[in-house]
Structure 1
Amino acid sequence: MGRNNAYWFALPAVALLGLFLLYPFLDVLRFSTWDWSGLSEPKVIGLENYRNILRDPDFYNSLRITLIFGVMTLIPFVILSILLALALDGQPYERPIKALLFLPGLVTLGGATVAWYTLFSPEYGALASVLPVPRWDQSPFWALVLIMLFTIWRHIGYGVLVVSARLKAIPKTLLEAAAVDGATASQAFRYITLPLLRPAITFLVVIGTVLTLQGYTAVFLLTRGGPFGGTEVLGYYLYKTGFEVGRLGYAAALTVIILLLTLAFALAQARLLREEK
């Protein structure tokens, strides 16, 4: 009887999950089988949108840019999160610094991008009057670097908090015993701290990959996919296809493929990086 009551208590949460997640996803699946602009009468074409995507060079170019952006962003994000958490651990100024690092994530995304554009504009930016700012508005590489730095700046505080929480859970007696046995600080980090940080690192890698594959807003507000399409990640390509070109059925199929890619990457990374039992 107790288990049946638990099912009834869980029913509202399950119903909300189905209403706001499952039903919209099923709707997207239905739209992905249409040739539809949003204004015209939808025409059912089956899997034709998916076949066209697999032959679409623009899709593969956006996927390539997304993967490059993901590698450029994910590796520095994880390494900086670990290094900053280690540097701040146990320091008297640990909490104020963590609060400052977390602050950019609390600023509205629109306001943050306007501030960055004003600061890093090669023509009239505040930094341009002091330092030489690369012409990221004319170079796809430097535009990706700008988006990468903005993304890390926005989320580094969260990464540091995740690693720091895991650091606090490591028993100090293990490190003290290693020091008594003659282990150096680098050996203690390599053989004790780093293996025990693997769950936090796994979490950051998976979350970072999801954010990268679904990234769109920073690209839209800072570069609009430019210059020369050099920052047209999958999220922005999806937006452009659906709302600028007016191919909502095709965009729905892109949504399904991006979702499957995100799930595949996240599961593969979790499997490779998870803690050995």
Structure 2
Amino acid sequence: MGRRSAYWFALPAVGFLGLFLLYPFLDVLRFSTWDWSGLSEPRPIGLENYRDILQDPDFYKSLRITLVFGAMTLAPFILLSILLALALDGQPYERPVKALLFLPGLVTLGGATVAWYTLFSPEYGALASLVPVPRWDQSPFWALVLVTLFTIWRHIGYGVLVVSARLKAIPKTLLEAAAVDGASPAQTFRFITLPLLRPAITYLLVIGTVLSLQSYTAVFLLTRGGPFGGTEVLGYYLYKTGFEVGRLGYAAALTVVILLLTLFFAAAQVRLLREEK
């Protein structure tokens, strides 16, 4: 009777999950088999959209840019999260600094991008009057660097909180025992702190990968995929294909492919980190 009652209590949550997650996903799968602009009558074409994706050079270009963007973002994000959490741990100013680091994530994305654009504009930006600012509006590399810095700035507070929470869970007796045994701070970090931080690092790595593969808003507001398509990540390519070109069926198929890529990379990272234990 107890287990049956638990099932009944879980039924509303499962129902909402199916209504707002499973049903829309099944609809996307259905749309991905159509040749449909959103206004015309949908024409079923089977798996033709998926075949076109595999032969689409623009898709592979966007995938390459997305992977480069992920590589540029993930490593500094995780490294800075660890270093800042270690530097702040136990300090009297730990809480106010963490609050300041977390503050960018609370600012609306539109307001944050307007502030960054105003600050870093090569022509009239406030920073350009003090130091030379690279012409990121004419260079795909510097435009990607700008989006990378913005992404790290916006999420670094969350990364520090995740690592810091894991640091607080490490028993102080382990660190004290290592110091008594003559271990240096570097050895203590390498053989005790870093292995115990692995769950937090794994979490940030997976979350960072998901955000990289699904990135769209910052690119849309800062660079609109430019210059010369140099920041056209998969998320922006999906938007452009569906709502600017008007191929909603093809965009639905892209959504499914991006989801599968996200699951693949996330699962591969988790498995790799587990095997390294």
Question: In structure 2, what is the Cα distance between the partners aligned to 1:186 and 1:276?
Answer: 20
Aligned to 2:23: 23
The reply to whether residue 189 of structure 1 matches residue 200 of structure 2 is: no
Once the two structures are TM-superposed, the CA of residue 274 in structure 1 deviates from its matched residue by 3.3
Give the partner amino acid of 1:253: A
Aligned to 1:214: 214
Task: Map Cα deviations across residues 194-250 of structure 1 (whole Å, 9 max, x no partner).
Answer: 000000000000000000000000000000000000000000000000000000000
Aligned to 1:253: 253
Aligned to 1:32: 32
Once the two structures are TM-superposed, the CA of residue 275 in structure 1 deviates from its matched residue by 7.8
With the length of structure 1 as denominator, give the TM-score of the two structures. Answer: 0.99
What percentage of residue pairs aligned between the two structures are identical?
A: 88
Task: Map Cα deviations across residues 135-156 of structure 1 (whole Å, 9 max, x no partner).
Answer: 0000000000000000000000
Aligned to 2:159: 159
Give the partner amino acid of 1:167: L
Structure 1, unaligned stretches of length 5 or more?
none
Once the two structures are TM-superposed, the CA of residue 273 in structure 1 deviates from its matched residue by 1.4
Question: In structure 2, what is the Cα distance between the partners aligned to 1:22 and 1:200?
Answer: 29
Query: What RMSD, in angstroms, separates the aligned Cα atoms of the two structures?
Result: 0.8
Structural mapping, 1:1-150, within 5 Å: 1-150=1-150
Once the two structures are TM-superposed, the CA of residue 120 in structure 1 deviates from its matched residue by 0.2
The reply to whether residue 230 of structure 1 matches residue 221 of structure 2 is: no
Question: In structure 2, what is the Cα distance between the partners aligned to 1:237 and 1:276?
Answer: 35
- SS of the residue 1:127 aligns to: coil
Question: In structure 2, what is the Cα distance between the partners aligned to 1:111 and 1:176?
Answer: 46
Task: Map Cα deviations across residues 54-80 of structure 1 (whole Å, 9 max, x no partner).
Answer: 000000000000000000000000000
Runs (4 or more) in structure 1 with deviation over 3 Å come to 274-277
Q: What is the aligned length?
A: 277
The reply to whether residue 179 of structure 1 matches residue 184 of structure 2 is: no
Give the partner amino acid of 1:110: G
Question: In structure 1, what is the Cα distance between the partners aligned to 2:18 and 2:8?
Answer: 15
Task: Map Cα deviations across residues 141-173 of structure 1 (whole Å, 9 max, x no partner).
Answer: 000000000000000000000000000000011
Give the partner amino acid of 1:197: L
With the length of structure 2 as denominator, give the TM-score of the two structures. Answer: 0.99
